[in-house]
Amino acid sequence: MDTNKKLIGGEFLVKEVPATEIFTIEDINEEQGMIRDTCRDFIASEVTPDLKRLDDHEDGLMRKKVDKAGEYGLLGAGLPEKYGGMNVDFITTMLIADNLGSGHSFSVAFSAHTGIGTLPLLYYGNEEQKQKYLPKLATGEYAASYCLTEPDAGSDANSGRTKAVLSDDGKHYILNGQKMWITNGGFADLLTVFAKIDNDRILSAFLVESKTDGVSFNPEEDKMGIRGSSTRQIFFNDVKIPVENLLGKRGEGFRIALNILHVGRVKLGASVLGGMRVSINHSVNYANERKQFGRYISQFGAIKYKLAKQAIKQFSTESAVYRVSGDINILAEENIAEGMEKGPAEIDAIAKYAIEAAILKVYGSEALDYVVDEAVQIYGGMGFSAESPVDRCYRDSRINRIFEGTNEINRMVIIDTFMKFIKRGDYDVFGMGDKLLNIKGEIQPQKGDGTYFSNQFAQIKNLKQVAIMTLTAANNELKRRLGSEQEVMMTIADILIQIYIAESTMLRIQKNDSTNNSNKELYKAMGDILLYEATQIIRNKAFDAVNSFVEGDLYEQLINGVEALTKIPKINIKEASRQIAEKMIEENKYCF
């Protein structure tokens, strides 16, 4: 892959990349395929048979499952070999998150341990801290959790009240405070705890062993979903933490927390794929077994439409997830080649794709919600029974729109980060936008040369112009008030999300069109429907934004421009959907 052609975070709005330069799920190598199969076998043999027991919080069972994942080498897959890990690349860690994502509550416990529980130490710990704890985390001897949220500090993490004071002898920090919604809290051995030292305004981070005197726990939370996941409040009462357990530098905790959230968002985008895949398979299986009016319900057009839409949500999320994975992997490997260690190399790369991380989190979690909701609908009355498998899918999905920052927060992160990158000169969005706004007469949309991909990418370029024009107008009109106009920010974020997902999907389709992939025509059918719907969404969101902050001549100019750039190409949605669904019905599973 020509690394000179990769796009850094947010550049997808102003630049194009050849399809040959992106990574897709079809590009995984033999070793990665074996790891994928290991993950699927683990879920099938170790997790799925015990889902009910896990949901009932059978004492010690989840911890045993985490330990078993350590025996398989999955807990330490992304860690360097010197700490007992397999040192796989970033793409492979995303593949693991994807294929363990069908494990319901186990997936949450696994993600919390290997992601937010372990990575702060890998990315920010000193060598002594890493040598002490990472080998134990890699095997499962120690389980990990991440303690950031407090009762009065949810999305505003830096407002937390947990406090650390240096002891008189200078050997310990004395920690006092409370944390809530702590995943793995009931069995974690190592806690990454965020607190303010003395009267600091900014958080610091500490490594705290859970058996230290003064650490106590509330009972398990009774939750709507992910019931098998251990979630507890944790209290710290005069807990003595050795000064050498300060993670990173004093006052660096908030930065650590934000960067780990970027990681969590990317990994969540991957883990929802496993949840979608299993829900689609349940849907297809049931549709092929359930008869109504003397026919299997999979033969009805209404059911075929639902199955096709589920497949498109999965396929498009997959396309974006592995595109970002490939981009982050390239940058991380470049950092390593320049002398950085694996941890800092990865966190630097992920931070540069903070926009895409937030996009994956929002789109992926909402795609999963759509898929599980339709799975319940396909099951009908049986779907509402706790005896059906889709009951658990539905309940467990809902948390993902709250995890790693709510989707509302993440939509604002997308715009905030875009504005930061623009203002520091990473790309000239406003210069391009001003040119569009100064065009006299009607804006002329780009047209392809009549061939399939030329026409599709011309359409995507037009949608990019809508985003550039709308964001520029919002900046020009609202100026410093833009940050407080959350409704406008979120509508523009939705435009950017649709563009990135549509482009990633079409690039994947184009890359596979030159291969022997037997599904490539069905890929095009999915891409056609996705682009059709993305254009409609972008048109409506742009109108929503423009109507919220523009008056006079500029209003007419923007509305006319949006109308010209969002003309929707003709497509037979019914026939395209049936082709997609009929392939899955034949295979009795998601098969793309």
Q: What residues are labeled active site?
A: 404
Q: How many residues does the chain have?
A: 592
The tokens describing 579, both together, are 């082709």
Closest CA to 149 of 89, 85, 192: 192
SS3 call for 406: coil
294 burial via Cβ count (<10 Å: 0-12, 13-18, 19+): exposed
Name the token pair of 386: 């706790």
- Phi and psi (nearest 5°) for 87? 60, 35
User: Other CB atoms closer than 10 Å to residue 478's CB: what's the count?
Assistant: 17
Closest CA to 513 of 499, 532, 501, 527: 527
d(CA 542, CA 534): 12
Beta-carbon count within 10 A of 249 CB: 12
CA distance 533 to 53: 41
Rounded to 10 degrees, the C-alpha dihedral 578/291/379/577 comes to 0
The gap from C-alpha 261 to its chain's centroid, in whole angstroms, comes to 10
Side-chain-side CA neighbours of 469 within 13 Å: the count stands at 31
Smallest CA-to-CA distance from 527 within 464, 579, 456 is with 456
Q: Going by C-beta distance under 8 Å and a sequence separation of 6 or more, which residues neighbour residue 282?
A: 375, 379, 389, 390, 393
Q: Which of 537, 502, 310, 268 is nearest to 404 (CA)?
A: 268
Half-sphere exposure of 519 (CA within 13 A, CB side): 18
Whole-angstrom CA distances from 479 to 161, 308, 468, 472, 482 are: 33, 43, 16, 10, 6
* Buried/exposed 51-69: b ≥16 CB within 10 Å, e otherwise: beebbebeeeebbebbebb
